[in-house]
Structure 1
């Protein structure tokens, strides 16, 4: 099996307050569709969103469509929002840092404990291999960051 990169990340400077950026990245219903892979995110249970909130994400790549299940594991208002994907053990996080002109937003996929064998096999057999898929994820992280920036700076 292919080696999994333990950390894939990128960041962007946004001319908006951390509170404004937080209002976007901490609501999975808003984030669904900002990612090139996550088409929609549904919340299981009641509002408000916080630590322990569970989601179902509908992902798409070309003709492939698949669901993943997430759980919010870090929720620090205006600073960090992170959720673990139950299906592959990956953690997806947004980290906000105030700057003189707004917010530095970092988006990352953490896999320090690796991914599930099923996930790695699917990447190798269906998604073109782990390294090309991770390159696609990094590109998607950049796209997501640019879309969050556009949305945050629009208002």
Structure 2
């Protein structure tokens, strides 16, 4: 079984360090994500490798929470986390371009995660996997557009 992957990029007129500060602040995720409505760090944690946070997701059909752990935190370059012990990996990579940053959001639904869905959802697993895949394909461009609007509107220094 192969990993399911998707990524998309957008150019933002903000320097990589300032944009990293924004995207690594998971408490702001609800401002840009079409599904994740809120995130909060475990007490005293923040954007560092090994830190844990909880996310609350909402769709018209249901609400659920996830546990995530930061697996990469390189200011100005990369911020990534894994959901449910490695079932899914989300990543923001930042690359300087011109006077701003190319921000890429990537999603990987691992074989481990797909197997976990098969155990959790049984006969409905393929539908659940397809729903998550479709949500990533639709949501990542929406998320990036919202981050760009927030970052450029916040007048972060370049």
Under a length normalisation based on structure 2, what TM-score does the superposition of the two structures give? 0.85
Unaligned runs of 5+ in 1: none
Give structure 2 stretches of 5+ with no counterpart: none
- Higher mean Cα deviation, 128-137 or 37-46? 128-137
Give the structure 2 partner of residue 144 of structure 1: 143
**In the comparison of the two structures, how many residue pairs are matched?**
153
Tell whether the 8 Å contact from 1:90 to 1:109 is kept in structure 2 after alignment.
Answer: yes
CA RMSD after TM alignment? 2.3
**CA offset at residue 89 of structure 1?**
1.4
Q: Which has the higher helix share?
A: 2
Q: Decide whether the 8 Å contact of 1:70 with 1:84 is kept in 2.
A: yes
Alignment of 1:65-144 (within 5 A): 65-86=63-84, 89-120=87-118, 122=121, 125=124, 128-144=127-143
TM-score by length of 1: 0.86
Q: Deviations over 1:63-105 (max 9, x none)?
A: 3000000000011011000000016611100000000130000
Displacement after TM superposition at 1:108 (Å): 0.6
The residue number in structure 1 matching 2:47 is 49
Please give the per-residue CA displacement for 1:101-124, whole angstroms capped at 9, x wherever unaligned.
300000011234441434355497
CA shift, 1:137, in A, is 1.2
SS at match of 2:113: coil
Contact in 1 for aligned 2:47/2:73 (Cα 8 Å): no
Decide whether aligned partners of structure 1 residues 153 and 127 sit closer, same or farther in structure 2, where only a CA change above 3 A counts: farther
Aligned to 1:60: 58
